[in-house]
Each structure stands twice: as structure tokens, then as C-alpha cells.
Amino acid sequence: MKIRKNDTVMVVTGDDKGKTGKVLMVFPDKNKILVEGINFIKRHTRGTQKNPKGGILEKEAALHISNVLVYCSKCAASTKVGHKVITQDATGKPTKVRICRRCGEVI
């Protein structure tokens, strides 16, 4: 999976097309993610001790991973994720980083 927790993503299809948000949770076995402020559903709840009135609650639902792309803040656009191996000067150890395919910025 190329999308990780705390990434900023942009929705490319569906009702929330064009909106951006931060990834809260990733479900790799289901190929779904939970994005902050996107894909709200209404949940009808019975009254409980925590919520004595009950009623209709709105919360985020999971999106399929194919419906979003990583958002690059430098390009100000959605982009595909690429990988690049760089070497650090102090240790000389190679590390693999994720980059923006448009501008080459490290994500």
C-alpha cells in the first residue's frame, strides 16, 4: 500500500471528489482507508448512558484506496507515489523514501 497513516490525500472519484483530508486509519486487508472529514454517514443510535437522547450521529466511513491519491503540498495537486533510494551522508546507509512523481519532493 502506498498510502499511510497521517498522509494528506485527495478524493478523485465519488461524492466528495476534490476534497482533501488526513488519513486517520488504514485497513490493508480490506484495501480501505478512513479520511478525516470525508465520506460522512448517518448512524441511527438508541439512547445509552453516554448518549441518553440517542438520535442520528454523523461519522466518517471507510473509502476504497483506489478512490484517493496522495496530495503533494508543493505541487498543490494529487500525485502518484514513487520510490527513491538515497544515501545519508553521516551513516552512508541507503534509505528508501517516497517521492512525488510530479516534482520529486520527498513525501
What tens digit of pLDDT does each residue of 4-48 get? Answer: 999 999 999 989 999 999 999 999 999 999 999 999 999 999 999
pLDDT of residue 30: 94
All structural domains of the chain: 8-78 (2.30.30.30)
d(CA 102, CA 41) in angstroms, rounded, equals 34
Percent of the chain as helix, strand, coil, to the nearest 5: 5, 50, 50
What tens digit of pLDDT does each residue of 39-78 get? Answer: 999 999 999 999 899 999 999 999 999 999 999 989 888 8
